[in-house]
Homo-oligomer: A and B are copies of this chain.
């Protein structure tokens, strides 16, 4: 018995399902473009075996451990490392058994789709995961991981990845990307410029990070002009390692276009750690506009990922650090927030700004109307909590009628869970084909138009928007 049904995620009406299946068959084997994500470049640099099954599927994946946490499982019992280096579970098999015993929590979630897809397609498993099969699973996966065909580069090829972008901090030395390049391996692993830690006054260590940026670039980053030049230099360095985009994860989508003297003064305040919360938000907003101006110079695509209330639990932040599943979306405005940046550079068709949201209400009210008129804007795919079959369907239903398909950019897997990449792209391809099939079946699209769109949504739009 297979874990996955062949026709999963297709419409239930037999006629419409047939249309969806035909569309899917025409694009299912296209290579994967992964222009935004969080895989570790070290994997591809060193090509070492992945450690045990728990380290592959449970311990590093906040999608997984947050669900177990919600039902009272302690993060230390799942091996999540403690900030103080204190004891946490290290026995992979014990972690795996705990995971398996709670696997029913994932019924009806995209996590189960991704995990079952990985189990079936990567590891050839045909039985369900539960308390009874936990040990068998653990042994089977551990055995696979010890074999050469399960090493990162082999999986990269098997996954049919044409290009994948990782995300590095502005001050990262990109050593793993250099190692990949120097190795002569032909897998295309590129970086992306993520300067939050040298921009955000609310992140710890801003001044030190900016100082390091100065050392790396030779510019005097204690001055506003030198700071901007250092960004320019660093972006150029990232471009040497394939970067085609920058990425910005701010609490809000606020942008500013203040006078340069005012920006310079605010920068000094930020370096001194003296910004009010509003000033911090303004400075981040000013930097988005500066980044957009640099994009006009160097061609990097600008990605904005706003709207998460980070570290909702102070206790979890203190004990385990950031990115531990306690980031919660909140209401996000785009209309007022983006106006300064757009009025500065938004009519330039040679600029590409890709917008993401954690607030689905913005799709039809704000994002589609904005992307449906401003030349620089494109809509990123459903993000994070909304990267799911229902989330993808809502995105298409709410954005397409106003923005069309050609102001969107295809799919991002946005993941650090390597084995989930084919699964996530497969879900997106199926949901898109289901949506297109429904348009065909309801007379809103011809079959040949749908076929062309299926190709573009899977491959063409990502390639073009991200300049891959």
Residues of A at the B interface (CB closer than 8 Å) are 4-16, 66-67, 69-72, 104-110, 112-113, 309, 312-316, 325-326, 328-331, 333, 335-336, 339, 342-343, 346-347, 349, 358-361, 364-366, 368-375, 377, 385-386, 388-391, 397-398, 400-407, 438-439, 441-445, 449, 453
Contacts and interface: CB of A to CB of B under 8 A. Distances in A.
Most buried by B among A67, A346, A386, A444: A444
Given A6-B443, A67-B372, A329-B335, 14 more contacts: A12-B438, A66-B372, A69-B375, A70-B371, A70-B404, A108-B404, A108-B453, A110-B401, A309-B336, A329-B369, A330-B333, A330-B366, A359-B365, A391-B401
A335 B398 CA distance: 24
Given A347-B313, A444-B9, A385 B358 contact: no
Given A16-B12, A438-B12, A441-B12, A104 B406 contact: yes
A12 to B, nearest CB: 4
B386 A364 contact: yes
A315 to B, nearest CB: 6
B444 A329 contact: no
Contacts of A335: 309, 312, 328-330
A326 B347 CA distance: 12
Given A315-B347, A331-B333, A373-B70, A389 B401 contact: yes
This protein's copies in its complex: 3
Nearest to A443: B8
Nearest to A65: B373
Most buried by B among A104, A343, A373, A449: A373
A70 B449 CA distance: 21
B373 A330 contact: no
A331 B365 contact: yes
B329 A312 contact: no
A328 B444 contact: no
A400 B391 CA distance: 11
B443 A7 contact: yes
Contacts of A388: 401-402
Contact of A361 (B315, B365, B390): B365
Most buried by B among A11, A108, A375, A405: A108
A8 B404 contact: no
A329 B72 contact: no
B329 A374 contact: no
A375 B390 CA distance: 25
6 closest A-B pairs by CB:
A8-B443, A72-B349, A5-B443, A388-B401, A66-B373, A12-B13
13 contacts: A7-B443, A9-B442, A13-B13, A66-B373, A70-B372, A108-B439, A109-B401, A109-B404, A329-B335, A329-B366, A331-B361, A368-B385, A390-B398
B407 A108 contact: no
A365 B307 CA distance: 10
Contacts of A313: 342-343, 346-347, 374
Nearest to A361: B361
A336 B251 CA distance: 13
